Structure 1
Amino acid sequence: MMREALTIAVRTAQPRIVAALAVRFRDLDLAEEAFADACLRAAEVWERDGSPSDSAAWLYRVAERFALQILRARRIRGGLLPDAPDPEPTVEAAMCDDASLIPDDRLRLIFVCCHPAVAAESRAALTLRLICGLSTGEIARAFLVPEPTLAQRLVRAKRKIAEAGIRFEVPEPAAWPERLEAVLSTLEVAYARAHEDAAGTGSHAGFASEMLGLTALLCELLPRDPEVAAFAALVRYAEARRPARVDGEGIMIPLSEQNPALWDRSLIGEADAYLEHAFSIGSAGARGVQAALHGAWCSRLTHDDPPPWPEILKLYDRLLMFRDDPFVRLNRAVAVAEVYGAAMALADIEVLDAARLEGFAPYHAVRADCLRRLSRTKEAIAAYDTALALGSSQAEKLWLQRRRDELR
């Protein structure tokens, strides 16, 4: 039970604590190191004394204390006298029940990580590591790059922030446009990573609901930016559908088969308002089209309403004008299969960069479905096996297994 409590606490508290420590001490490596030490201490102390009533606050206090000790050690090496050490923290340390103890500095740190001085290919990776708590391997898979390459990018990005003396503050409004695209791109990847677990039980699932607050804050900061409003709409459409994403056995339900009666209509209403605002203040960019895709799905009211596949395909065609990449084309192929048939969809899939997508489970899952529809059973089973071997959430694995076993 203690290990489970620690795992949950780390999973939910890491982004806020690391961001708060990084902003306070102006040192990204120190923030990560301090949080890691706090987790080690928690494994020892909680096993002995039990977990605290406010585990996040306990972790923050211990991490803060460790960071101060490191800084004092540096001062000693620099010839300065250290301050007296803090007393050893207990499980129920002072102020651990103060809900406002940990400042939420994530948005500030996102702007820091997306500073123009940091290489463009490193901004999103660094933010995902520090803000969202994704591992190096998870980020590497999200960007389809080797893990050692991604690790080097992170090292260089941290070094650049330190050498450039970048301020750990939300910049003046005049500086937002040059960082905004990187900020939004990062949040998109983070949300996709959190949302991909249909059951909402993955290690980063909690970030999905927290994105509601972050996007609302961005809309307050940038009320006249259509892409910001569109992204806020997209997140709300997607989160509204969460109650219908798995069945009673914990198996994923594809979007086209979900029961719209289970969707959160209040969130859909918020999303409609954000999307209407986005279109009223500017032309629809990539995020506007993506939000419109989600909006088209959420226009269904009952299970009897047919999926809007023709409209979905048209919107994907529009999205290709902004983002012509393998991910968009793979999703478009799903709509092509419904509108024009599996043979045409498979032809579109086969011309994609297979080497780049080889480690991407959805690529094999979509391909398997097309092969299944074309009665190429052995090939379909092999493709399902490949998708399963690459690893997915439990809900998705159960769904893939069911589809594969139906063929057998």
Structure 2
Amino acid sequence: MDLGRAISEARPRVVAALAVRLRDLDLAEEAFAEASAAAVPAWRAQWPRDPAAWLWRAAWRRALDAKRRGAVRRRHAPDEPAPAPTPEDGVIAASDPIPDERLRLIFVCCHPAIAADARAALTLKVICGLSTERLARAFLMAEPAMLQRITRAKRKIRDAGVPFEVPGREMWPERLEAVLATLEIAYAQAYEDAALASDGAGFAQEVLRLSGLLAELLPREGEVLGLAALVRFAEARRPARLDQTGAMVPPAEQDMGLWRGGLIGEGARLLDAAADLGATGPRQLLAGIHGLHLSRRDTGVTPWAAIVGLYDALALFRPDAVTAVNRAVAVGEAQGPAVGLAALDAVPGAGRLTNWLPYQAARAGLCDRAGLTGDAAAAYHAALALGPAPAERLYLERRLAALT
């Protein structure tokens, strides 16, 4: 395995375990960074049998050394014995040598004492290791503002003495929306990279697993079931998202024979269970949109008009640019590229989206289909300048080349 990839894949589990035991988010991140730096020469000399366990031990030693050196800190003492495990602990737990604390730390970072707009960002920074620059891009905000938001959230956890533990079930509702938002955004980082070649590659399987855990823990929460269904529907198409050259393949052009029937079945059962609860939410609607794409396996066509209808419903919950841009693409397929372009131009604040890759890719595709070659080329160039992942870059370059 590639050294950088091994470190990246180990990070969520190791940092979460460190943070819960040290009760210090910054120290956990710093200790993992030092262990990763030490791993480079050590692993080149001899690859460890278990890279994650190696990083855990190295980071733990460095964290303890840092605590001992701190003049204002007490000498390290072992934690008090853990209380008797609850049923939730049994579901969350993983085998040693590294305890699996990720879901626990997500609940910590989503504490109601932390500003609502900072919870998901903090969790993605600490657990997933997303850079501040990438977080700012994901939240469509300036990098300095994102850094300030994360710094304030960490300070709040420290100053408020937020306990590093899964709260009682009676306290879950006040944190659940932030937990779901975090997992949804983390998955979006992996989904936008069809080849799983970026630093967000591990999020796909991780969110697939964690969303399943939450669905098991909270089977009466429609949005929990909706997120689990959404991730399963999206991952079902993963094998068909690349062609033989490594370029991304859009959903409507994918080989349906490569779709994973098992995941489709799991997602359908979860979405049906959510519908039975009678409380529709945005994640259920998103899962429904993915489900309609998958319905092409049975009907042979993609029901674009129905997809537009679900986006219209989603806009009632999320009247934001992301929903509007995706809706415009669907409108372009259902009613023609000219109508889609009009919908794209009507997106609120469209002028501020010029540095957002999905917007430029959507504009390029609609202009291309409308025969506006010059506008399409400009949008393709703009999208390529925004640093797409390798598979998406190949797709955009191919579409640009086809114009001429």
Instruction: Calculate the TM-score normalised by the size of structure 2.
Output: 0.93
Of 195, 207, 215, which residue of structure 2 is paired with 1:211? 207
For 1:130-172, what per-residue CA distance to the aligned partner results, in whole angstroms no more than 9, with x for missing partners? 1111111110000011111111111111000000000101111
Q: Does 1:6 pair with 2:3?
A: yes
Name the counterpart of 1:109: 105
| Matching residue's letter, 2:241 | R
| Matching residue's letter, 1:346 | L
Residues 133-282 of structure 1 correspond to what in structure 2 (within 5 A)? 133-282=129-278
Paired with 1:106 and 1:177, the residues of 2 have a C-alpha distance of: 19
C-alpha deviation, 1:339, in angstroms: 1.4
Paired with 1:279 and 1:65, the residues of 2 have a C-alpha distance of: 49
Alpha-carbon RMSD: 1.8
Contact 1:72/1:82, CA 8 A, preserved across alignment = no
Q: Secondary structure at the match of 1:149?
A: helix
Paired with 1:45 and 1:232, the residues of 2 have a C-alpha distance of: 39
Name the counterpart of 1:23: 20
Contact 2:68/2:74, CA 8 A, preserved across alignment = no
Of 283, 287, 305, which residue of structure 1 is paired with 2:283? 287
Given the superposition, is the C-alpha separation of residues 198 and 247 from structure 1 closer, same or farther in structure 2, using an over 3 Å criterion? same
Residues 354-369 of structure 1 correspond to what in structure 2 (within 5 A)? 354-369=350-365
For 1:310-356, what per-residue CA distance to the aligned partner results, in whole angstroms no more than 9, with x for missing partners? 11111111111211111111111111111111111111111221233
For 1:74-114, what per-residue CA distance to the aligned partner results, in whole angstroms no more than 9, with x for missing partners? 3x65686999xxxxxxxxxxxxxx96211110111101111
Paired with 2:13 and 2:210, the residues of 1 have a C-alpha distance of: 12
Q: Does 1:129 pair with 2:113?
A: no
Instruction: Calculate the TM-score normalised by the size of structure 1.
Output: 0.92
Contact 2:289/2:307, CA 8 A, preserved across alignment = yes
Given the superposition, is the C-alpha separation of residues 161 and 301 from structure 1 closer, same or farther in structure 2, using an over 3 Å criterion? same
Instruction: Count matched residues.
Output: 388
Identity of aligned residues (%): 53
| Matching residue's letter, 1:217 | L
Runs of 4+ in 1 over 4 A off after TM superposition: 76-83
Paired with 1:78 and 1:251, the residues of 2 have a C-alpha distance of: 52
Paired with 2:154 and 2:188, the residues of 1 have a C-alpha distance of: 24
Paired with 1:109 and 1:39, the residues of 2 have a C-alpha distance of: 21
C-alpha deviation, 1:201, in angstroms: 2.0
Paired with 2:390 and 2:37, the residues of 1 have a C-alpha distance of: 28
Q: Secondary structure at the match of 1:252?
A: coil
Paired with 1:22 and 1:142, the residues of 2 have a C-alpha distance of: 24
| Matching residue's letter, 2:64 | L
Structure 2 residues without counterparts, runs of 5 or longer: 79-93
Residues 303-382 of structure 1 correspond to what in structure 2 (within 5 A)? 305-352=300-347, 353-382=349-378
Paired with 2:198 and 2:278, the residues of 1 have a C-alpha distance of: 36
Q: Secondary structure at the match of 1:359?
A: coil
Paired with 1:198 and 1:278, the residues of 2 have a C-alpha distance of: 28
C-alpha deviation, 1:220, in angstroms: 2.1
Given the superposition, is the C-alpha separation of residues 51 and 277 from structure 1 closer, same or farther in structure 2, using an over 3 Å criterion? same
C-alpha deviation, 1:24, in angstroms: 0.5
| Matching residue's letter, 1:57 | A
Paired with 2:180 and 2:74, the residues of 1 have a C-alpha distance of: 44
C-alpha deviation, 1:301, in angstroms: 1.8
Paired with 2:357 and 2:54, the residues of 1 have a C-alpha distance of: 38
